[in-house]
Chains A and B, each alone.
Chain A
Amino acid sequence: MAAVLDATADTAPNRGTTEMRRFLMTAVPLAIALYGVIPLVVGGQPYWLNVLTNACLLSFGSLGVWLTFSIGRVNIAQGAFALIGGYTTGVLTTMLGLSFWIALPLSGIVAATIGILIGWPLLRLRGIYFAMVTLSLTEAARLAFVNAGSVGHGVLNIPNPPGINSPLAFYLFAATMLLAGFVAIWRLNVSRIGWVFRSMRQNEELASSIGIDIARFRVLAFAICCFMGGIAGGCFASLQQNIYPQTYTVADSINFMLYCFLGGLEFVLGPIVGTFALVIAFELLRSIQEYQALVYGILMIVVMLFLPNGLLSLRGLISRRAGGAK
Chain B
Amino acid sequence: MIQVSRRTMLMSTGALVLAAVMAGPSGALAADKVLKIGQLGVMSGPEASWGLVNKFSALATAEMWNEKGGIEIGGDKYKIEIVSVDDRNDPKLTVSGAERLTGEGIKYIIGPNMDTTATSVRPIAEKNKALYFPYAFARSLYTAPAENAVLGMVASYQVAPVMYKILKEERGVKKIAFIARNDSDGLLQREEGVKVAEALGLEIVSKDDTYESSITDFFPVVGNVVAKNPDLIVMSSVAPAHAPQIMRAAREMGYTGLFGAESAQDMKIINEVAGEMGSGLISIGGASTPEIRSPYMEEFIDRYTKIAGEWNDEAGTKAYALEMILGTLQKAGPAAIDDIEVFKAAIPEFEMKNPFLKEDAVVKYVGTADFGQKRQIGVPMVITETKDGELTTLSIGSVE
Which residues of A line the B interface, CB within 8 A? Answer: 22, 25-26, 29-30, 32-33, 37-38, 41-42, 45-52, 54, 143, 146, 152-154, 156-157, 160, 167, 236, 239-242, 244-247, 251-252, 269, 273, 276-277, 280, 283-284, 286-287, 289, 292-293, 311-312, 314-315, 318-319, 324
Contact = CB atoms under 8 A, between A and B. Distances in A.
Interface of B: 1-3, 5-7, 9-11, 13-14, 16-18, 20-21, 25, 43-45, 84-86, 90-92, 95-96, 99-100, 102-103, 115-116, 119-120, 122-123, 128, 138, 140, 182-184, 187-188
B117 to A, nearest CB: 9
Contacts of A277: 13
Contacts of B182: 143, 146
B21 A48 contact: yes
Contacts of A153: 184, 187-188
Contacts of A146: 182-184, 187
A287 B25 CA distance: 9
Given A154-B115, A154-B184, A277-B13, 8 more contacts: A37-B11, A37-B14, A41-B18, A47-B96, A49-B99, A51-B96, A52-B17, A251-B45
20 contacts: A25-B6, A30-B10, A33-B14, A37-B17, A38-B14, A48-B20, A154-B138, A157-B140, A167-B99, A240-B91, A242-B91, A245-B183, A245-B184, A269-B6, A280-B13, A287-B25, A289-B85, A292-B86, A315-B6, A319-B5
B92 A280 contact: no
Contacts of B85: 286, 289
A27 B3 CA distance: 11
A22 B86 CA distance: 41
A45 B184 contact: no
B95 A273 contact: no
B1 A319 contact: yes
A137 B13 CA distance: 34
B9 A273 contact: yes
B118 to A, nearest CB: 10
Contacts of B21: 41-42, 45, 48
B275 to A, nearest CB: 32
A101 to B, nearest CB: 20
Classify the interface of chain A: helix, strand, loop or mixed. helix
B310 to A, nearest CB: 17
A83 to B, nearest CB: 12
Contacts of A276: 13
Contacts of B103: 45-47
B100 A47 contact: yes
A242 B136 CA distance: 15
Contact of A315 (B9, B14, B91, B116): B9
Contacts of B6: 25-26, 29, 269, 315
Please name the 8 residue pairs, one residue from A and one from B, whose CB atoms are nearest each other, closest first. A47-B100, A315-B5, A37-B14, A47-B99, A25-B3, A50-B96, A240-B120, A33-B10
Contact of B187 (A41, A152, A157, A289): A152
A153 B182 CA distance: 11
Given A29-B6, A156-B119, A319-B5, A41 B92 contact: no
A244 B115 contact: yes
Contacts of A37: 11, 14, 17
A240 B95 CA distance: 7
A315 B2 CA distance: 8
